[in-house]
Chains A and B, each alone.
Chain A
Amino acid sequence: MAVVEEVGNKIGLKYIDCDVHPMINNLQQLYPYIPENWKRRFEFQNIDITSLKLPSRYVHPAGGTSRPDAKPEKGIPGSDPAFAKKQYLDPFKPHKVILNPLQPSAMVSWTNVEAIVTLTSAFNDYYLEEWTEFDQRFTLAMTVAPHDPLQAAAEIRRIGDHPGVSAVFLPLLNTLMGNPYYYPIYEAAIEKDLPIITHVTGQEGSFVGVPALSGGIPRSYTERYVNLIQIAQSNLSSIVFEGLFEKFPSLRVAFVEYGFSWVLPLMWRMDKTWKELRIDTPWVKEFPSEIIKKNIRFTTQPLDEPENLSHLKHMIEMMDGKEFLMFSSDYPHWDNDMPTRVLNNLDKETKQKIFYDNAADFYRLS
């Protein structure tokens, strides 16, 4: 096939995957990156960071959140960069994949700030050394601990210039992103020309201090999965109506793994409400939809799949999605969207922007 030969992959496009998840199998893997005293403390505590299942309200009904076929010979899915290379990078040939580590982000539900900060740094160092140096197509969204924005900012300044870092992963507390609480993190990210991404942490609705879900407590994993978009909606409204980009015009923000089909009706509602009640937030100086299109990005997975797939295509057109959507697979998770199988009905220009241009610009990866 001519296209395949041209770009060297089956998608027919140079593409960036904005959501791939690396994991560790046990805490000992982080020990080379943890100060001796903390290592002793974690040993005393006998911490098993890989098991957050037990205290969680929402356990996957089919046993796991990963693809069973993504399990390497030794360890859990996502724990072996060589296996990820063999199973995903080599056959699909992405230009870059953004690593979004979920184990450190799950520490949003912890309370011991110093332990969280120590482990977060260790995770960052581990992934930079073991993954981004293993294959330069892997690039890291370095995690920060939102529990202490000043220490989070210091972490960004510590490793933000590393060539393997392409974004700051901000796991969320029950404080909305427009709140000045996060300003030190934003300032440091801007200083290092890194975008902020936020991603579902799996802790939502399970613990005090992490984002609560609206209206009540869902009973099942399924209910919560469907409702996770609420968190992105609230944070998007907060960012816009708190005037975050008035304060930080060069800040770049992305919502990862929240899907996007909810964005269009929310933009409509935000625009209408701004028109009516602008005096409530007079620092918002243009239509919220314009602010969103300029400064905020959304990744595509998990894609909504209406019976008639052209409806999704129309929705992307209606929302001008080619300007602000970025492809993501969520490899190696159970609900991944593989690049050869999704969004195939988009026109060439839209596909080019969603699969490559928007992310290349957002993460500065061209």
Chain B
Amino acid sequence: MKEYIGNTEQFAENECRKIRIGKKKLLVWRTKEGFYATREECPHQGVSFECTKLTGTMMPSNPNEFEYGMDGLVLRCPWHKWEFDVRTGEPLFGTETKTIKTFPVSVEDNKVFVEVT
């Protein structure tokens, strides 16, 4: 079911808003590519991602070279620093098998909806 969760201007880029739908605790993120929703808690030891800002990461590179990429699309856990793609909830570069559950988000006439299944 689609739930209205606010207007676009209520969301800041690279940040999230905490949304409660029934018993579900979600975070809705605004990125330069659009809006995404994830579960609030890290699949590792359960810390809330609420205070976290989206960031980029160091892409797989050659020895002793750093290559910054995925700017604003990476959710890095504030505790043990596991990294996830905020768009899919998938861990980056095969570092983990646990994923973050994600939920579809849509925007219509400046209104943001999340679909909770």
Contacts and interface: CB of A to CB of B under 8 A. Distances in A.
A274 B60 CA distance: 12
A269 to B, nearest CB: 13
A246 interface: yes
Given A275-B82, A276-B80, A283 B62 contact: yes
Interface string B42-71: 000000000000000111111111110000
A282 B59 contact: yes
B94 interface: yes
A311 interface: no
A318 interface: no
B63 A242 contact: yes
A243 B83 CA distance: 21
A286 B92 CA distance: 11
Contacts of B81: 276-277, 279
Interface size range of chain B in the complex: 20 to 34
Grouping DSSP codes into helix (H, G, I), strand (E, B) and loop, the B interface class, with mixed when no group exceeds half, is loop
A14 interface: no
A285 B93 contact: yes
Grouping DSSP codes into helix (H, G, I), strand (E, B) and loop, the A interface class, with mixed when no group exceeds half, is helix
Interface string A169-184: 0000000000000000
Contact of B94 (A242, A276, A286): A286
B82 A282 contact: no
Interface residues of A, number: 16
Contacts of A286: 94
Contacts of B65: 283
B96 interface: yes
A283 B95 contact: no
Contacts of A244: 63
Nearest to B60: A285
Contact of B60 (A247, A275, A276, A282): A282
B96 A283 contact: no
A110 B9 CA distance: 71
A224 interface: no
Given A275-B82, A278-B83, A283 B64 contact: yes
Contacts of B62: 243, 246, 283
Given A275-B95, A282-B67, 16 more contacts: A243-B64, A244-B63, A275-B82, A275-B96, A276-B81, A277-B81, A278-B83, A278-B92, A278-B95, A279-B57, A282-B57, A282-B58, A282-B66, A283-B61, A285-B60, A286-B94
Interface of B: 57-67, 80-83, 92-96
Interface of A: 242-244, 246-247, 274-279, 282-283, 285-287
7 contacts: A243-B63, A243-B64, A279-B58, A279-B81, A279-B83, A282-B58, A282-B61
